[in-house]
Chain A
Amino acid sequence: MSVRVFVPCDTSAVACGADGVAARIESEAGVRGFDVTVVRNGSRGACWLEPLVEVETAAGRIGFGPVDPEDVPALFDAGFPAACEHPLALGRVEDIAWLKKQQRVCFARNGIIDPLDLDDYRAHGGWNGLERALAMAPADIVQAVTESGLRGRGGAAFPCGIKWKTVADQAAAQKYIVCNADEGDSGTFSDRMAMEGDPYRLIEGMLISALAVGASRGFIYLRSEYPVAHRILGEAIRRARAAGWLGADVHGSGRAFDIDLRLGAGAYICGEETSLLESLEGRRGQVRFKPPLPAIKGLFGQPTVVNNVITLASVPDILVNGGAWYRDLGTGRSRGTLPIQLAGNIRRGGLIELAFGVSLRELLYDYGGGSASGRPIRAVQVGGPLGAYLPESQFDTPIDYEAFAAIDALLGHGGIVVFDDTVDMAEQARFAMEFCAVESCGKCTPCRIGSTRGVEVIDRIREGVEREANTDLLRSLCDTMLHGSLCALGGLTPLPVLSALKHFPEDFARNA
């Protein structure tokens, strides 16, 4: 009987050689007379083990990683594809502590199923949430999501149920569900991993959202930097349509819903919901004034739900298990789980899904194992390029929206970028302003001009030119951007700058 071997097709695995590993396993198996079927699964999220090769055995799936194509012959020599002694052998994948300790909801299927196999999806609980929703009144779906306490996972953390209720309450012939898959924050990849490893989950979440608010059309706005996700998601939509899950009669319900997959074009600002809508309509991605809210006048002027990938992907399980079940996970006003992404200079980086409340320290040292370089961790940036830099003294902060707000930081989309003690925090502050200048949509002056002036002022501080006066000027500029910008790009760029200045002032006085 054929042995099933899993080699992820996920971007991170492929970026580290997974395609070569898969090809080499097939060729070695052929030469040695093994009957092997290679399945291209998604990633489990243990990026530090990628490419993580798994073999299906009677005792469960056993892992090997990280595997280089050159390792493959030696693996076969040691007894692969069966449990065997080898330096890369990891034992049962389910028993790897890094994975075992997690609380997987959104990522429960990731790495386990073949992402495009509809039977596999069904066998692992797929469509159960949708079937539940199809039997419910729209208001009850909204109620379940409201009760769950789910907040927008894109970064703004707005209560999902309130947004849905607003759209549901509008009388309009056409409403839209827009999935924001423009995951531009550095250090984040949970949207990508979800779309590449379990794409039908997102489709199911969008379908449930459509039923709740009465929408018949959906768009996924995917960033152009994700070609693998584009290919997998595009194929998933085609297959879901062919199987009757999308189209004029969703699963025989008489309800219509279909999804267009659209590509962005390398503009960070299009992750801001109103810019995204402008872009979908075919224009420059410039921010819109609010109000009106997109929930009232959104895409093409119609009531529109705009939700992040992870928000929508959280919904099916809420429908299956009930809002109270999800609400009972987490802490304070941060309910449920957050897929945290541990990245940058970290030994064991990857995707860690846990209920809110875990501390940064636990993530950095228990899961992450410290820095990749072996040097002390000096700073972490949480929440992408607009997130604050936190020093070691703040590592006991729990993963919780309000706890982060209390220290002038933000959780954002859950990305944590780790820096060791070689980092120059004045250079990082400068980059925050530079990035804002590159990506500003240009609509408001504090962001468009302020970011360029910010780069110049930081340069003068670093050169030692009237350091004190220029530091005051930088604070004043940050204040203007914070209070005068139209959206979060200009409004939050001061966070990394001011936090660097506050916690690492010595770096701004280096070259005096």
Chain B
Amino acid sequence: MTQRTDTELPRKPGPALDSVASEAVRAAIEACRDVPGALLPILHGVQDALGHVPPAAVPVIAHALNLSRAEVHGVISFYHHFRSVAPGRHVLRLCRAEACQAMGARGLEAHLRARLGIGFNETTADGTLTLEPVYCLGNCACAPSAMLDDRVHGRLSVERIDTLIDDCGERP
């Protein structure tokens, strides 16, 4: 069973925040107390800490910023970077943009879909890997590119991307 990690499907109301998540949300809000236009920095703080922005965090953030829940949800769903569902242990973002297309990115995409059995914004059944699309990583002269967690990899081939995925399976 794969689960989409983006925000396009209707979600059930999320479970209440556990103490770790609650503390992460509180810390993210606190860190931006004097920041003008604080919503994006807060959302980044929450997602950096938890890997996603849990739906239950929305009313907490809305209250702190004196916004409606709809406004906060609207921002989360607008930006591709923010997720409402926890991703796998690793996130692989494959560049789909033109410079990478010119160097075979469409073939890599087909290979990943076949090998992993998932599409974009889905996570493998064992929870190891989430696959996401990205439109340009700024590595266009060394294409095709992908970002595994926080690291960009260039000059990818099917063999090289397979090695990256194999390593994910072996790392916690």
- The answer to whether residues A263 and B44 also contact, given A282-B65, A300-B36, A346-B141 and a CB cut-off of 8 A, is yes
Q: Is the CB of A186 within 8 A of B150?
A: no
| B 80-115 binary contact with A (CB < 8 Å = 1; else 0) | 111000000000000001111111000000000000
Q: Is the CB of A279 within 8 A of B136?
A: no
B31 within 8 A of A: no
Contacting B98 at CB < 8 Å: which of A50, A263, A344? A344
| Chain A residues whose CB sits within 8 angstroms of the CB of B141 once the complex forms | 12, 47-48, 189, 341-343, 346, 349-351
Contacting A284 at CB < 8 Å: which of B75, B139, B154, B155? B75
A303 within 8 A of B: no
Q: Is the CB of B134 within 8 A of A266?
A: yes
How many of A's residues come within 8 Å of B, CB to CB? 62
B29 within 8 A of A: no
Q: Is the CB of B44 within 8 A of A431?
A: no
| Chain A residues whose CB sits within 8 angstroms of the CB of B39 once the complex forms | 282-283
A415 CA / B75 CA spacing, docked (Å): 30
| Chain B residues whose CB sits within 8 angstroms of the CB of A265 once the complex forms | 40, 43-44, 79-82
| Chain B residues whose CB sits within 8 angstroms of the CB of A419 once the complex forms | 102
- Give the contacts of A181-236 with B (CB-CB under 8 A): 183-189, 191-192, 224-228
Contacting A184 at CB < 8 Å: which of B74, B136, B150? B136
Least CB distance from A258 to B in Å reads 13
A418 within 8 A of B: yes
| Chain A residues whose CB sits within 8 angstroms of the CB of B80 once the complex forms | 265-267
Least CB distance from B138 to A in Å reads 4
A431 CA / B150 CA spacing, docked (Å): 26
| Chain A residues whose CB sits within 8 angstroms of the CB of B41 once the complex forms | 262-263
A281 within 8 A of B: yes
Q: Is the CB of B44 within 8 A of A284?
A: no
| Chain B residues whose CB sits within 8 angstroms of the CB of A418 once the complex forms | 102
Q: Is the CB of A266 within 8 A of B138?
A: no
A459 CA / B40 CA spacing, docked (Å): 37
Total inter-chain residue pairs, C-beta < 8 Å: 155
Closest chain A residue to B133, Cβ basis: A438
Least CB distance from B167 to A in Å reads 13
A435 CA / B133 CA spacing, docked (Å): 11
- Give the contacts of B112-144 with A (CB-CB under 8 A): 134-143
How many of B's residues come within 8 Å of A, CB to CB? 43
Q: Is the CB of B44 within 8 A of A428?
A: no
Q: Is the CB of B37 within 8 A of A225?
A: no
Closest chain B residue to A285, Cβ basis: B78
B153 within 8 A of A: yes
| Chain A residues whose CB sits within 8 angstroms of the CB of B99 once the complex forms | 186-187, 343-344, 415, 417
A346 CA / B103 CA spacing, docked (Å): 9
A439 within 8 A of B: yes
Contacting B102 at CB < 8 Å: which of A185, A228, A284, A344? A344
- The answer to whether residues A184 and B135 also contact, given A282-B75, A415-B140 and a CB cut-off of 8 A, is yes
- The answer to whether residues A439 and B153 also contact, given A344-B103, A417-B98 and a CB cut-off of 8 A, is no
Q: Is the CB of A423 within 8 A of B102?
A: yes
A281 CA / B99 CA spacing, docked (Å): 32
- Give the contacts of A414-433 with B (CB-CB under 8 A): 415, 417-420, 423, 428, 431
A50 CA / B154 CA spacing, docked (Å): 11
Q: Is the CB of B154 within 8 A of A225?
A: no
A224 CA / B152 CA spacing, docked (Å): 13
Closest chain B residue to A283, Cβ basis: B75
Contacting B37 at CB < 8 Å: which of A186, A192, A280? A280
Closest chain A residue to B78, Cβ basis: A284
Q: Is the CB of A12 within 8 A of B97?
A: no
| Chain B residues whose CB sits within 8 angstroms of the CB of A284 once the complex forms | 74-75, 78-79
Q: Is the CB of B135 within 8 A of A186?
A: yes
A351 CA / B139 CA spacing, docked (Å): 11
Least CB distance from B4 to A in Å reads 15
| Chain B residues whose CB sits within 8 angstroms of the CB of A435 once the complex forms | 97, 135
A308 CA / B99 CA spacing, docked (Å): 22
A451 within 8 A of B: no
| Chain A residues whose CB sits within 8 angstroms of the CB of B143 once the complex forms | 343-344
B5 within 8 A of A: no
- The answer to whether residues A15 and B140 also contact, given A300-B36, A381-B98, A385-B97 and a CB cut-off of 8 A, is no
A47 CA / B74 CA spacing, docked (Å): 39
Least CB distance from A409 to B in Å reads 15
B50 within 8 A of A: no
A11 within 8 A of B: yes
- The answer to whether residues A349 and B142 also contact, given A417-B102, A431-B98 and a CB cut-off of 8 A, is yes
| Chain A residues whose CB sits within 8 angstroms of the CB of B16 once the complex forms | none
A283 CA / B76 CA spacing, docked (Å): 10
| Chain B residues whose CB sits within 8 angstroms of the CB of A344 once the complex forms | 98-99, 101-103, 140, 143
B58 within 8 A of A: no
A441 CA / B154 CA spacing, docked (Å): 30
A189 CA / B153 CA spacing, docked (Å): 15
A372 within 8 A of B: yes
A417 CA / B75 CA spacing, docked (Å): 32
Q: Is the CB of B140 within 8 A of A16?
A: no
Q: Is the CB of B136 within 8 A of A16?
A: no
A188 CA / B136 CA spacing, docked (Å): 9
The 4 closest A-B pairs by CB, nearest first: A349-B141, A186-B97, A343-B140, A47-B141
